[in-house]
Amino acid sequence: MEKIIKSAKKNIEKVKKLYGNSSDLTTRIIKLGKINVGIIFMESSSAALTVSEHIIKSINMIENDKKIFESVFDNLKNRIFNSQVITINDFEKFPYFLSAGFTIIITDDSDEAIVMETRLPLDRGVTESSSEPILRGPKDSFTESHAKNLGLIRKRIKDKNLWFDEVKIGRRTQTRVNIAYINDIADKKEVNYIKKTLKNIDIDGILDSGNLREYLINEKSAFPQVQSTERPDLVCQSLLNGKIAIIVENSPFVLLVPAVFIDFTHTPEDYYQKPLNISLTRILKFISLLITLFTPAIYIAITTFDQVVVPNELLISLAVQRESVPFPTSLEIILLMTIFEILRESDIRMPSNMGTAMSIVGALVLGSAAVDAGIVSPIAVIVVAFTSICSLIFTDIDFMNGIRFWRFIFIIFASFLGLIGLVVAVMIFIIKLASLENFGVSYLSPFSPFNISAQKDALVRFSTPNIFKRPSYIKIKNYFKQGGSHEK
């Protein structure tokens, strides 16, 4: 702790030296009788108009009051127009408040400073989510404004038990991180563990919520073990189910823990539409997952090693198509899958108006030219295209990357051992996922271990009036969300 000097001029000089006379540092000294009043703010993070209207104008209005000279500091603190007034006595806190958009007022007659919020709106307004398409439901999404993000949650859950615990992370960034949970639902041990983990992070700074994932969970799988979303309705649904949300300043993405495999196949819209339609959609997603994971590997296995399982007519057709192709089937599929993944990454990274054109050129022109040139067979193009289309049903980028990783693993095993190799790879895949655990919750819950009550909202969805309990595989205090008892 470094004490504040009882001199407005010396404090201002000290701040200027601290920031190397930075061009966005603005200072001013106003005389009230024999007392100097110093005003310090950052032009880049504070609204100059707000400083003029609420602070300088207020000082000028009370300048003629003789009582002001009895204690300038106390009178300023009580009479300046602002909703949020803080007093500090530590000079080392100056950099944090200045960078956060606060204005600091210092006087010659006090070793304390008045800190007033004058933030400059540097974030975008509340808009529709760009990474998670919204078909039905609320259109708002999180932004880079920390206060707005907390407000988007608070306006949906108007409960005194909705608690936000704040920690600051980063020696240089001092990023605010809030742990959100419903106190009478969430498991307090998990909340304390997350809070302790975050407090123990010693790093220069974090710039996005994604920086915290590796600290929260030691991810040992290509599939994500922490759910990330920019939709407030999904966060609120998760909080009501007993999960914990982590909101990071300057990030529009909120982390949800614990996350299980089935969470990445569900969407918030599932609870806004008819259960029968949603159940069919979820089954379709599950079928798409199987297709995108196994189709290329099965094609390689049955055309290279296990031709006996293919009808003769189809086998002859495949042989005719591959007659002019110089590459083995496995290399052909790997080549096409690699090209598609490159196109997908290009489409994601490029501006939207250019990405569509790139996809059309890549998918149609390049694929057609490759077939005409005899580099790949038509059936291989169909297999890869069908596989790729099925993968697009999932929107979470980390989940799609996990699918991509394991798809190539299955292709490699099938290339060396055929269907036997594929079966071995599938066993490794299931064992790997079943061995994962997040905050004491199995990653394959509620299927492994099998939980009967949770099947009402797993692969299929029952109507809301028939789902009385929260997911029992999550450690929570109160399992009843409607009817029944309110105790565990």
Look at residue 411 in the predicted model and tell me its pLDDT.
94
Look at residue 210 in the predicted model and tell me its pLDDT.
87
Question: Are the CB atoms for 212 and 242 separated by under 8 Å?
Answer: no
Question: Are the CB atoms for 105 and 5 separated by under 8 Å?
Answer: no
Look at residue 356 in the predicted model and tell me its pLDDT.
57
Number of H helices, E strands in the chain: 16, 12
Residue 172 has pLDDT above 50, yes or no: yes
> What is the chain's alpha carbon radius of gyration, rounded to the nearest angstrom?
30
The band of 487, judged by pLDDT with boundaries at 50, 70 and 90, is very low
Rounded to whole angstroms, the Cα distance separating 114 from 107 reads: 9
- Side chain identity at residue 68, one-letter code: I
Look at residue 488 in the predicted model and tell me its pLDDT.
41
Q: For the chain, give the percent of residues with pLDDT over 90.
A: 32
Question: Are the CB atoms for 93 and 85 separated by under 8 Å?
Answer: no
Residue 484 has pLDDT above 80, yes or no: no
Element (H, E) at 442: strand 441-442
Determine the 3-state secondary structure of 340 from DSSP.
Answer: helix
Residue 94 has pLDDT above 50, yes or no: yes
Residue 52 has pLDDT above 70, yes or no: yes
Per-residue pLDDT, averaged over 190-213, amounts to: 91
What are the boundaries of each domain within the chain?
A: 8-117, 146-266, 275-441
Q: Comparing 14-28, 31-45, 302-316, 356-370, which segment has the lowest mean pLDDT?
A: 356-370
Question: What is the per-residue pLDDT across 344-401, written as a single tens digit (0 to 9) for each?
Answer: 877 777 766 555 556 666 666 677 777 777 788 888 888 888 898 888 888 888 899 9
Q: Comparing 52-61, 198-207, 269-278, 325-334, which segment has the lowest mean pLDDT?
A: 52-61
Instruction: Report the predicted TM-score, pTM, of the whole model to 2 decimal places.
Output: 0.84
- The DSSP output letter for 270 is G
H helix intervals, 256-328? 275-304, 312-321
Report in angstroms the alpha-carbon separations of 140 from 129, 133, 143, 326. Answer: 7, 11, 9, 53
- Residue 26: which residues within 8 A CB-CB, separation 6 or more? 40, 41, 42, 43, 46, 48
The average confidence (pLDDT) of the chain is 85
Look at residue 261 in the predicted model and tell me its pLDDT.
92
